[in-house]
Amino acid sequence: MYKKTLYLLLFLLLVSGCSSNRYQKLEVSATTWIGYTPLFYAKEKGWLEPLNIKLLHVSSLSENMYLYQAGNADAYVGTQYEYDVLVKNDASLIPVMLFDRSNGGDVVMSNVSIEELQKNTDAIDVYLEMDSINHTLLKDFIQKYGLQDKTINYINRDQAFISTLSTKDINKATIIVTYIPYDTELEKHGFFSIASTKDNLNLLVVDALFTRQKMFHEHKAQFIALKKLVDTAVEVLEKNPYEFYKTIKPYMMELSYEEFTQSLEDIIWLNKNLSTELKSRMEESHFPTNGLI
């Protein structure tokens, strides 16, 4: 482990001497999600600077997508939902590298049980990010539990706002679609999980870094180097989780170390080899796997 880290530092020293001439600035946008923390770790360790990579931190999945659409980011990290939306208008969009698969990290929460939702005759308030995987998760949940006949009041908010909601201020049946680390904050405010990608929702949610083919070829060396940094960060996390946590803590709201390590159980890292089964499932979902770093 330490030998690999030493090699990485030597690599960074090597590129730092010529980065200003060799690399053009590459801007990557990312949200607060447990699976993207290797990027934040690399940033805090100063690993991105020699590669002239700037990491933009945004508060919502939809903001992340709009930032990229507007040309204010060269690449973005997100799920296959954002990819499906954007590739319709830009066929050159490709996934460059994988991060993780949600295994409970995407959650449907409520202040009442599923049975109470099914019996409910009033409108149900649903807080979510509409232009994100949140919406897909909600549709899957509604279909699975037969809530199609219910009146749904969709309330489109970012997760930073949603995480401030409290059951003390709500007097009607409410659903929240969220993800780590925001679910931990909502639990403290009285909400509880009623479904997730780990147990009762069979929804495939994969996180990756995306960019246009032209952008990838222009910055290929930087993307390959970034992949090495992500892999190294994941290795640090597995060997020394507390040091990793202390480094990325500013990005994780009020998540304690215990909550952080527990949340890691809700994702599966995909930065190494893919299983044949998962690769087939991704391809069935029209998520290209050829050409991934």
Q: Which two tokens stand for residue 217?
A: 């070829």
AA letter at 241: P
Mark whether 74 and 138 lie in a shared domain: no
Mark whether 87 and 121 lie in a shared domain: no
Q: Is residue 241 part of a domain?
A: yes
Mark whether 186 and 124 lie in a shared domain: yes
DSSP state of 1: -
Bridge partners (DSSP) listed for residue 152: 124
AA letter at 204: L
Torsion angles phi and psi, residue 280, rounded to 5: -65, -40
Q: The pTM is what?
A: 0.87
Please determine, for residue 283, whether its predicted confidence score (pLDDT) is greater than 90: no
The model's pLDDT over 187-214, given as tens digits with 9 standing for 90+, comes to 999 999 999 999 878 789 999 999 999 9
- H/E stretch holding 133: helix 133-144
Helix (H, G, I), strand (E, B), or coil: what is residue 15? Answer: helix
Please determine, for residue 4, whether its predicted confidence score (pLDDT) is greater than 70: no
**CA pair distance 160, 157, nearest whole angstrom:** 8
Mark whether 162 and 92 lie in a shared domain: no
For the chain, what is the domain count? 2
The model's pLDDT over 44-53, given as tens digits with 9 standing for 90+, comes to 999 999 999 9
Q: Cβ atoms within 10 A of the Cβ of 145, count?
A: 17
pLDDT at residue 7, as a whole number: 52
Task: Please compute the mean of the pLDDT values over residues 99-126 and round it to a whole number.
Answer: 96
Task: Please compute the mean of the pLDDT values over residues 15-41 and round it to a whole number.
Answer: 83
Q: Cβ atoms within 10 A of the Cβ of 78, count?
A: 28
Task: Please compute the mean of the pLDDT values over residues 115-132 and round it to a whole number.
Answer: 95
- H/E stretch holding 3: helix 2-16
Please determine, for residue 10, whether its predicted confidence score (pLDDT) is greater than 80: no
- Domain end point (choices 196, 222, 252): 196
Mark whether 89 and 224 lie in a shared domain: yes
Q: Is residue 292 part of a domain?
A: no
The model's pLDDT over 68-78, given as tens digits with 9 standing for 90+, comes to 999 999 999 99
Please determine, for residue 280, whether its predicted confidence score (pLDDT) is greater than 60: yes
- DSSP track, 241-290: HHHHHHHHGGGSTT--HHHHHHHGGGEEE-SSPPPHHHHHHHHHTT---T
Q: Is residue 291 part of a domain?
A: no
pLDDT at residue 127, as a whole number: 98
pLDDT at residue 14, as a whole number: 55
Q: Is residue 293 part of a domain?
A: no
Closest CA to 133 of 29, 208, 234: 208
Task: Please compute the mean of the pLDDT values over residues 23-51 and round it to a whole number.
Answer: 96
Mark whether 129 and 264 lie in a shared domain: no
pLDDT at residue 199, as a whole number: 81
Mark whether 208 and 83 lie in a shared domain: yes
Domain that holds residue 60: 7-101+204-284
Q: Which two tokens stand for residue 283?
A: 């391809």
Mark whether 86 and 221 lie in a shared domain: yes
Please determine, for residue 142, whether its predicted confidence score (pLDDT) is greater than 70: yes
Mark whether 34 and 54 lie in a shared domain: yes
Provide the CATH number for the domain around residue 160: 3.40.190.10
Helix (H, G, I), strand (E, B), or coil: what is residue 180? Answer: coil
Exposure b/e, 25-50, CB count within 10 A at least 16 = b: ebbbbbbbbbbbbbbbbbbbbebbeb
CA 102 to chain centre: 9
- Domain end point (choices 174, 196, 218): 196
Q: Is residue 290 part of a domain?
A: no
